[in-house]
Structure 1
Amino acid sequence: MTDGLITLIVTTYNRPDALEAVLEGCFTQSDRNFEIIVADDGSTEVTRDCIARLAARSPVPLRHVWQEDIGFRLAGARNRGIEAAQGEYILILDGDCVPQRDFIEQHRKLARRGFMVTGSRILLDEAYTRQVLERHIALQSLRFADKIRLRAAGHLNKALQLIVKLPDVGREKRRFSYRRIKGCNMAIWRSDLELVNGFDESFKGWGHEDADMVVRLFNAGVMRKDGAFATEVFHLWHREAQRDQASSNKKVVLEREMDRTTQAAKGLREHQ
């Protein structure tokens, strides 16, 4: 467990309505010892204006780092966020994943040297996501009855994980596995990110950047913990990204698992 400053990196690209819902969730956190960095993969002025407006009333420090839009470069945006971070512990959150009020608090409880945490998510369907964004529904304020009702109506893919919180027992994963790797909700010590040279910007297109990070950390001796039944976020619906390079990216991850690669081919050090 850490009692130091946590940096929450929220990645985004041209979806300001979802980003606003996410940041509103961040503003209601029970644990306020954190900062927010919005890592932007080239959004337009609409997103910039949204962030500036919200930063003006943020209860914690909020900064915006931006890179030119020359195609999908999520790894690069995340690395820019890591570079700007002041915290010793880094949480990675996608800009369409609304945190519950105890998101920071629960991740802090699970933080332990020698481990990273892959968090968990609750999927919203298209119809309810539209309602949330149009009516500005505060997902982090849903009551017990609301969660049960939404699950019964099929608007959430699960609800028990929102209701039951389990302690930090039996969460360690001693072997690498693809199961439950969610880059949209991930926590890593900054020193461990620097150890493996951050996210790998050499990956082409969308797919498996998160698994690559987990396997390289594992190869470097950093184990993984499962954040289910503690760290759940509400994942707003969106159309699935085109898996143009997913198969080739997975091949790279499998090769790195076999040859024990630890370093990103193009990562944090290449920004220096």
Structure 2
Amino acid sequence: MEIPKISVIVSTYNSEEWLKKVLWGFNCQTFKNFEVVIADDGSGPKTKELIEEYSKKVFYPIVHVWQEDDGFQKSRILNKAVVACNASYIIMTDGDCIPREDFVHVHYLNKEKGYFISGGYYMLPMNISKQITLEDIEKQRCFNINWLKEKGIPKTFKNNKLTAHGFLSKFLNWVTPTNASWNGHNSSGWKADIINVNGFDERMQYGGQDRELGERLFNFGIKSKQLRYSAVCVHLDHKRGYKTPESIERNLGIRRKTKQEKRVWTFYGITK
């Protein structure tokens, strides 16, 4: 088997309805030379059945990395998925983010040694998230602002994420006030860089573990590129039952230390 140019890590947990749409979104990509590595944080048999079914339907290879359900352990499963990636360049996204057809291509074209990429997402409300069919993904309607407006999406500045192309998307990437942090729903970087900082800190549960990885990459000398208006996915709505004030507080403490001590390495990562 030829080694793919890109590995895409998709994280999931018992969310078959959304994962199906995401896998279909990757089946519509214009750039074809990639694999999808599913980082499965303890889903039940339904997810496994879905992955087996879709492995026969999609053109790209799927690698299913699973661990026992032990509460919210996304950092741990992402580290296992990083190790399982066959490509030297990794895109990370979530099982609730449908990628636009140029998603992988944009990451591929913009990858550069010494950088990671920070992409954007467009949040959809629950009623539209549920309405999107596989045909809507195939015809790319769910990225069409007029189609979304017909479904009741309000007119806001963030609609530019879906309508900006060419010079305008480059300009908006450049002027956007948010910093280009590592975002779990849409970021990419070199596997070697992620391994060099020892991946995600597995002490961290929900809230900012992706940013903390980015902060260690910065300390390691890696810069970031902002592609919020060109690497685009639509984010399907869901509840966040695993978000607790304790986990947020603990994670903020770890991030403070990472910044203050300019930490590059975590002792709680891929290599224990």
Q: Report the TM-score when normalising by structure 2.
A: 0.88
Residues 81 and 258 (structure 1), Cα distance of their counterparts in 2 relative to 1, 3 Å cut: same
Equivalent in the alignment of 1:126? 126
Report the secondary structure of 2:230's partner residue: coil
Q: How far off is 1:219 after superposition?
A: 0.3
- The CA deviation at 1:194 is 0.9
Q: Which runs of 5+ in 1 are unaligned?
A: none
- Cα 1:221–1:170 change in 2 (3 A) is farther
Change (3 A) 1:206 1:14: same
1:200–1:240 distance in 2 versus 1, CA, 3 Å: same
Distance in structure 1 (CA, Å) of the matches to 2:66 and 2:72: 13
Q: Cα distance, 1:170 vs. partner?
A: 9.3
Partner of residue 48, structure 2: 48
- What code does the residue aligned with 2:117 have? V
Q: Is 2:117–2:227's contact at 8 Å kept on the other side of the alignment?
A: yes
For residue 209 of structure 1, what is the aligned residue in structure 2?
A: 209
Count of residue correspondences:
262
Equivalent residue letter for 1:150: L
Identity %: 28
Shift of 1:119: 1.1
Contact 2:203–2:268 (8 Å) recurs in 1: yes
SS in 1 for 2:266: coil
Other-structure match for 1:185 = 186
Residue 254 (structure 2) aligned to one of 252, 255, 266: 252
Q: Does 1:261 align with 2:263?
A: yes
- Superposition map of 1:69-84 within 5 A: 69-84=69-84
CA-to-aligned-CA distance 1:224-253 (integer Å, 9 cap, x gap): 111111111010001234233112201211
Residue in structure 1 matched with residue 23 of structure 2 by the alignment = 23
Whether 1:198 aligns to 2:199 is yes
Distance 2:130 2:230 in 1: 26
Q: 1:231 to 1:179 in 2, by over 3 A?
A: closer
For 1:80-123, what per-residue CA distance to the aligned partner results, in whole angstroms no more than 9, with x for missing partners? 11111110100001000000001010011110110111110000
State the alpha-carbon separation in 1 of the partners of residues 166 and 266 from structure 2: 34
2:49 is paired with a residue whose SS is helix
Q: Which amino acid in 1 is paired with 2:198? A: N
Q: Classify the secondary structure of the residue corresponding to 1:117.
A: strand
> RMSD of the alignment, in Å?
2.5
Q: Which moved more, 1:56-65 or 1:115-124?
A: 56-65
Q: Which moved more, 1:144-153 or 1:79-88?
A: 144-153
Q: Distance in 2 between matches of 1:155 and 1:77?
A: 36
The change in CA–CA distance for 1:38 and 1:124 in structure 2 (over 3 A counts) is same
Question: 1:58 corresponds to which residue?
Answer: 58
How far the C-alpha of 1:39 sits from its partner, in A, is 0.9
Could you list the per-position Cα deviations for residues 42-61 of structure 1 after superposition, in whole angstroms to 9, with x for gaps in the alignment?
00000000000001122011
Q: Is the 8 A contact 1:124 1:156 kept in 2?
A: no
Evaluate the alpha carbon distance shift between residue 27 and residue 201 of structure 1 in structure 2; reply closer, same or farther with a 3 A threshold.
Answer: same
Q: Which has a greater percent of helix? A: 2
Maintained 8 Å contact 1:123/1:156: no
So what's the TM-score if we normalise by structure 1? 0.88
Task: Give 1:166 deviation, angstroms.
Answer: 4.3
Match of 1:138 in 2: 136
Secondary structure of 2:57's partner? Answer: coil
